[in-house]
Amino acid sequence: MTIKDVAKLAGVSPSTVSRTCRNHPSISEQTKAKVRKAMAELGYEPNIQATTIENKISKTVGVVFPASLKDAYENSFYLEAIRGVGQFCNQKGYTVTAITGGTEAEIMASIQNANVDGFIFLYSNVDDNIINYMYEENLLFVLIGKATKMINDTIYVDNDNIQAGKEACQYLINLGHRKIGYVGTDSIKVFSNDRKSGYIIALNENNIPFDNKYCIEVPYIPDDEDIKIKELLSMEERPTALIVCDDMLAVALQRTVFSLGLKIPEDISIIGFNNSIFSRLTFPKLTSIDINSYQLGIEAASQMINHIEQPDLFATKIIVPYYLIERESCAKVSE
């Protein structure tokens, strides 16, 4: 009998069987019981010597990037978050390994072969195949971002992105803007959806009609001549202010604004998120909501290590505060 035979009978992956043999904390007791039952039925005996050697390996946390060929590695949010993860893990004697890939299949293969105690996901997507796999295999993981399923059983660290989107919109409303738009990214991104929801709530609370024509979705790094952005800015009744879900996207949008002969903030005000280095290097400098990316990483690592060392803890939810950084990209609406 081989480990693959046990995995097939138990309905799990070979890596889950391997972790069960090592009594790995990332595997739930329910799954361990299922695997051990299959081992007993098949008469499978694990390699005790190899298991003992593996148990001497230093504890390691896997940090999972979203599947991407390029964009994810250019976004300063991920760099700041992993810096926080790394610092906390170093203090606790844990090592960190990055799990990356251009496709979901590549990342899935890396997760299945990883010899780590648990995984930190730097993102949260709606109905993500990899995260669904983590649930199915009962693997230990922490999300940076809000869970969208099995919420009571998922450990996650996040901002209150609905409230942050609402506050960004209210800031523009207080400056006199009524034609306010929202530029988000792919709708599978939970943070973008939540910030848009907050924006809509603020409009409703101020009796400002929601106009879907003012809302678009574009890639993190849009093409130089992104049609959706150009059409939005070329409308006869174009918005006087825009909330943009990410600073990188806001910088790209600024480029299109200038190419159309418009001025910031005289013709259009822009507010972004993350308070990344990009927001401080643009001209004019970008008003942005700082989501404390570094602290999100620290809190995710803290929760991960707590659950590795105390497997019976309930799934925790940590909300990290954000704050608004006012700069020159927003101004009172022109009369």
Residue 275, pLDDT score = 95
Of the candidates 39, 57, 75, which is a domain's last residue?
57
Q: What is the dihedral of CA 175, 290, 273, 330, to 10 degrees?
A: 30
Residue 105 located in a structural domain:
no
Beta-carbon contacts of 182 under 8 Å, excluding residues fewer than 6 positions away, are 165, 195, 196, 199, 214, 215, 216, 242, 243, 244, 245
Residue 224, pLDDT score = 56
Judge whether 296 and 145 are in contact, CB under 8 Å: no
Instruction: Report the chain (335 residues): mean pLDDT per 10 consecutive residues.
Output: 83 78 75 89 71 54 87 81 97 95 92 89 93 86 94 94 98 97 93 97 97 90 74 93 94 91 96 93 94 98 92 89 97 82
DSSP 119-145: EEES--BTT-HHHHHHHHHTB-EEEES
Judge whether 246 and 76 are in contact, CB under 8 Å: no
Domain residue limits at 192: 161-291
Residue 303 located in a structural domain:
no
Residue 190 located in a structural domain:
yes
Task: State the CATH number of the domain containing residue 200.
Answer: 3.40.50.2300
Judge whether 241 and 172 are in contact, CB under 8 Å: yes
Residue 299 located in a structural domain:
no
Residue 187 located in a structural domain:
yes
Residue 102 located in a structural domain:
no
Of the candidates 10, 31, 57, which is a domain's last residue?
57
- Other residues' Cβ atoms within 10 Å of the Cβ of residue 302: 20
What three-state secondary structure class fits 210? coil
CA 60 to chain centre: 21
Residue 242 located in a structural domain:
yes
**Sign, CA torsion 232/233/238/240:** positive
Compute the distance between CA of residue 70 and CA of residue 66 in angstroms, rounded to an integer.
Answer: 10
Residue 87 located in a structural domain:
no
- Give the number of domains in the chain: 2
Task: State the CATH number of the domain containing residue 39.
Answer: 1.10.260.40
Residue 196, pLDDT score = 97
Whole-angstrom CA distances from 22 to 49, 63, 83, 117, 318 are 11, 21, 30, 11, 30
